[in-house]
């Protein structure tokens, strides 16, 4: 009995580790790019430091320092790197800060006002950011530690009381160095925990793709950090909007990213694509209808000849009625990813009918079909897109046609799929789905690599907008929900809605 908990431990561990449908790896090369943009952001924050007024008295010497303003920053040595357990460490060494402030000095009967230029040298700042997933599965900066020190500070005095100022400057400089060092960390803490977290709020977590389906990009667990990489495991599951709480179990191979040469890698398992097709199947929109002039003329002639016997027996008033072809997927399509390529298997019914005006449709045949589609996956901007092409096709059986006649339709129906159906599908899916990256950050130089059960997209990063620009945009305008206002539609059998 006592051994039972021990025997269950491996099963419980496996059950608690849900495999991701989407995985993102940021490498140290990607972090270098982030460092350059982040350094600009830190400079802007430090330039806006607010230092309290300084006033005091030494004997007959009264002083008041106010209106402290940062005039210039020099940050020659900075480093941003991954740090296991703590996640991100950002260091600035041997920086200098030039200041200007207003002086008011009283010595016996002499009163003097003016400005003073000062510089803080040997500024060292050490910050550590802890990253975690929040309650909704969004990546957040959950905590920050900071240490700041100033090695030296100098103040330049001029005027008739210059010798007096220099004699008493120790009190002023010491006080200013203390006040300035005390303001550096609070400024950076606000920048990280408030401003940078508002930037992370722009990453889609649970987003609607269209009026039928949405995508769940919630993090499954806290980031995994090594000295060279940061890995993020996302759920990566599409869902039918009318049944948002319904989960599709993930039995696919977990993506494994081994590469570190590019700035970022995004991996997608078969589950990612299967869940999309399952959600569309639930919505009942995996169907295409061709009627009348939309049916290719040569195919229409062939079909009328094939079903001549059936048509001949009908009422003469409906013999010349337009043809309708409805291609309806009969089960959720399945995705298979191999090193040689990505394919999608589809089972469907092709229903052939006559549609006389003001009368019910007359079904001529219903045939079961299977096809294998090749899928070319690529990124455009931050949108993941798929270009489909027909690789194999077969009409298995028909409820009204003998095999010889069914066989004679194989080539014409394959041509229909290639030249008419596939362009319609690719047109309707060309929008793609957004990858979970913050606003203002885009992919460049993408390379797609197939593996057994998953594929990876290696890319470099590019900032199309500065951090400050994106943050100010969302501070000045109300947050707009990622979901479109259109309401989810009920499951449909309308073949126009693919």
pTM of the model: 0.83
Rounded CA separation 260/252 (Å): 24
What Rg do the C-alpha atoms of the chain give, in angstroms? 34
Rounded CA separation 481/494 (Å): 29
Evaluated on CA atoms 378, 384, 389, 395, the torsion sign reads: positive
What is the secondary structure of 31-53 as a DSSP string?
Answer: HHHHHHHHHHHHHHHHHT-----
Q: How many CA atoms lie within 13 A of 207 on its CB side?
A: 19
* Greatest C-alpha distance within the chain: 122
pLDDT in tens, 256-285: 999 999 999 999 999 999 999 999 999 999
Per-residue pLDDT band at 161 (split at 50, 70, 90): low
Q: What is the pLDDT of residue 484?
A: 43
Which of 387, 381, 299, 409 lies closest to 341 in space, CA to CA? Answer: 387
Strands 441-450 and 341-354: what pairing?
unpaired
Strands 22-27 and 229-234: what pairing?
antiparallel
329 CB neighbour count, 10 Å cutoff: 20
Check if the beta carbon of residue 489 is closer than 8 Å to that of residue 478: no
SS3 content of the chain, % helix, strand, coil (to 5): 30, 40, 30
Rounded CA separation 288/196 (Å): 46
Look at 475 and 44; give whichever has higher pLDDT. Answer: 44
Which of 302, 362, 372, 311 lies closest to 336 in space, CA to CA? Answer: 372
pLDDT in tens, 342-395: 999 999 999 998 988 888 888 888 888 899 999 999 988 888 999 999 988 886
In the chain the domains, ranked by start, together with CATH numbers, are 27-201 (3.15.10.10), 206-463 (3.15.20.10)
Q: What is the pLDDT of residue 446?
A: 92
Contacts of 178 (CB under 8 A, 6+ apart): none
Q: What is the pLDDT of residue 252?
A: 92
pLDDT in tens, 202-259: 888 998 998 999 999 999 999 999 999 999 999 999 999 999 888 899 999 999 999 9
pLDDT in tens, 165-201: 666 667 677 777 887 888 888 888 988 888 888 888 8
Rounded CA separation 34/261 (Å): 16
Rounded CA separation 89/82 (Å): 6
Residue showing tokens 């007096």: 164
Check if the beta carbon of residue 355 is closer than 8 Å to that of residue 361: yes
Rounded CA separation 494/328 (Å): 10
């Amino acid at each position: 009995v006592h051994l039972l908990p021990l025997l269950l431990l491996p099963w419980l561990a496996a059950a608690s580790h849900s495999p991701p449908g989407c995985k993102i790896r940021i490498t140290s090369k990607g972090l270098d790019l982030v460092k350059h943009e982040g350094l600009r952001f830190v400079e802007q924050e430090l330039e806006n430091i607010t230092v309290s007024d300084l006033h005091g008295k030494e004997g007959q010497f009264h002083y008041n320092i106010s209106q402290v303003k940062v005039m210039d920053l020099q940050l020659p040595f900075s480093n941003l790197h991954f740090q296991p357990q703590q996640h991100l460490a950002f260091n600035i060494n041997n920086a200098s800060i030039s200041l200007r402030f207003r002086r008011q000095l009283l010595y016996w009967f002499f009163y003097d006002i003016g400005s003073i230029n000062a510089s803080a040298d040997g500024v060292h700042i050490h910050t550590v950011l802890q990253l975690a997933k929040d309650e909704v599965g969004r990546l957040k900066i959950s905590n920050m530690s900071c240490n700041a020190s100033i090695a030296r500070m100098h103040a330049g005095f001029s005027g008739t009381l210059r010798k007096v100022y220099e004699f008493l400057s120790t009190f002023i400089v010491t006080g200013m160095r203390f006040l300035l060092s005390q303001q550096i960390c609070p400024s950076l803490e606000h920048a990280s925990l408030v401003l940078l977290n508002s930037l992370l709020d722009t990453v889609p977590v649970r987003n609607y793709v269209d009026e039928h389906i949405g995508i769940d990009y919630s993090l499954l667990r806290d980031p995994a950090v090594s000295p060279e990489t940061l890995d993020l495991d996302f759920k990566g599951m599409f869902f039918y909007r009318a049944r948002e709480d319904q989960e599709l179990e993930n039995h696919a191979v977990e993506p494994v990213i081994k590469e570190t040469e590019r700035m970022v890698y995004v991996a997608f398992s078969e589950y990612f694509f299967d869940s999309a097709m399952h959600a569309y199947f639930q919505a009942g929109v995996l169907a295409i209808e061709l009627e009348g002039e939309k049916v290719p003329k040569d195919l229409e002639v062939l079909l009328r000849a094939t079903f001549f016997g059936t048509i001949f027996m009908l009422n003469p008033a409906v013999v010349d009625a337009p043809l309708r072809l409805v291609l309806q997927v009969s089960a959720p399509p399945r995705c298979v990813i191999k090193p040689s390529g990505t394919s999608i298997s589809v089972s469907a019914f092709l229903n052939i009918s006559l549609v006389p005006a003001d009368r019910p449709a007359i079904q001529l045949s219903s045939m079961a079909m299977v096809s294998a589609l090749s899928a070319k996956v690529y990124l455009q901007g931050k949108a993941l897109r798929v270009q489909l092409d027909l690789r194999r096709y077969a009409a298995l059986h028909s409820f009204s046609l003998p095999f010889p006649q069914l066989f004679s339709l194989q080539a014409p129906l394959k041509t229909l799929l290639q030249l008419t159906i596939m362009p319609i599908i690719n047109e309707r899916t060309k929008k793609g789905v957004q990858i979970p990256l913050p606003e203002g950050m885009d992919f460049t130089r993408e390379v797609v690599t197939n593996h057994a059960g998953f594929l990876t997209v290696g890319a470099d990063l590019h900032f199309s907008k500065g951090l400050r620009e994106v943050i100010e945009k969302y501070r000045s305008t109300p947050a707009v929900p990622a979901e479109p206002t259109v309401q989810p539609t009920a499951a449909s059998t309308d073949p126009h809605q693919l």
